[in-house]
Chain A
Amino acid sequence: MRRQARFEAAGKISATEAGEWFERSRCLIRQALAQRLNRAADIDDLAQEVYLRLLRVPRPDLVRNPQAYLYRVAINVAEEWRARAAQSCDHSSEALQNLSAHDDLEGDASQHQRAQAVQRALEALPDASRTAVVLHVRDGMTYEEVAQHMGVSRRAVKRYVAKGYAALRLRLDAFASGSGFADADR
Chain B
Amino acid sequence: MTDNSVPIEVTEAAAHWLDRLRSAQGSDGAPLARLRNEFADWLLRSPVHVAEFLRLSALETDLIQALQTRPDWDAALPVPDTAKVLRLSELAPERPRPFAPRTVKTRRRWAMAAAAAGFAATAWLLQSTFRADPPTVATALGEQRSILLADGSTMMLNTSSAARIRITSETRQLDLLRGEMLVDVAKDAARPFRVLSGDLVIEAAGTRFNIHRRADATVVTVIEGRVLLDRRLSERTPTPGMVADGARASVATATKRLELSGGQQAAVPAGAAPVEPVPANLERATAWTERRLVFEHETVGDITAQFNRYNHSRLLIADVGLASRQITGVLDVNDPDAFVALLEELDSIEVRLTPEGHREIWLGSRRRE
Contact = CB atoms under 8 A, between A and B. Distances in A.
Verify that A and B bind, or say they do not: yes
A103 to B, nearest CB: 15
B148 A34 contact: no
A91 interface: no
Majority SS of interface residues in chain A? helix
A142 B148 contact: no
Interface in B114-151: 115-116, 118-119, 122, 148
B112 A173 contact: no
Interface residues of B, number: 71
B15 A70 contact: no
Chain A interface residue bracket vs B:
35 or more
Given A59-B40, A66-B36, A135-B93, A163 B148 contact: yes
A182 interface: yes
B85 interface: yes
A151 B36 contact: no
B16 interface: yes
Nearest to B91: A149
Nearest to B70: A119
A143 to B, nearest CB: 6
A145 B93 contact: yes
Interface in B143-183: 148, 152, 154
Interface in A53-107: 54-55, 59, 62-67, 70-71, 74
B138 to A, nearest CB: 14
Contacts of B2: 42, 44
B44 interface: yes
Given A67-B39, A158-B15, A37 B66 contact: no
Given A127-B86, A153-B187, A166-B11, A33 B3 contact: no
Contacts of B184: 159
Contacts of B44: 51, 54-55
A169 B55 contact: yes
A132 to B, nearest CB: 10
B296 to A, nearest CB: 23
Contacts of A43: 51, 54-55
B61 A123 contact: no
A95 to B, nearest CB: 20
A84 B16 CA distance: 35
B51 A47 contact: yes
A108 to B, nearest CB: 11
A165 B59 contact: yes
Nearest to A174: B1
Contact of B40 (A62, A131, A137, A161): A62
A131 B73 CA distance: 12
A37 B55 contact: yes
B50 A50 contact: yes
Contacts of A9: none
B23 interface: yes
A27 to B, nearest CB: 8
B350 interface: no
B122 A63 contact: no
B67 A33 contact: no
Contact of B33 (A44, A63, A112, A131): A63
B51 to A, nearest CB: 3
B58 A34 contact: yes
Given A66-B39, A162-B15, 9 more contacts: A37-B55, A47-B51, A51-B50, A63-B36, A112-B69, A115-B69, A159-B8, A163-B8, A170-B3
| Across the A-B interface, the 9 shortest Cβ-Cβ residue pairs | A47-B51, A118-B66, A51-B47, A162-B12, A34-B58, A34-B61, A37-B58, A115-B66, A66-B40
24 contacts: A62-B40, A63-B36, A64-B36, A111-B65, A115-B66, A118-B66, A123-B77, A131-B86, A131-B115, A133-B63, A136-B19, A137-B60, A139-B95, A141-B93, A149-B91, A151-B111, A156-B152, A158-B15, A159-B152, A162-B11, A162-B12, A166-B11, A169-B3, A173-B1
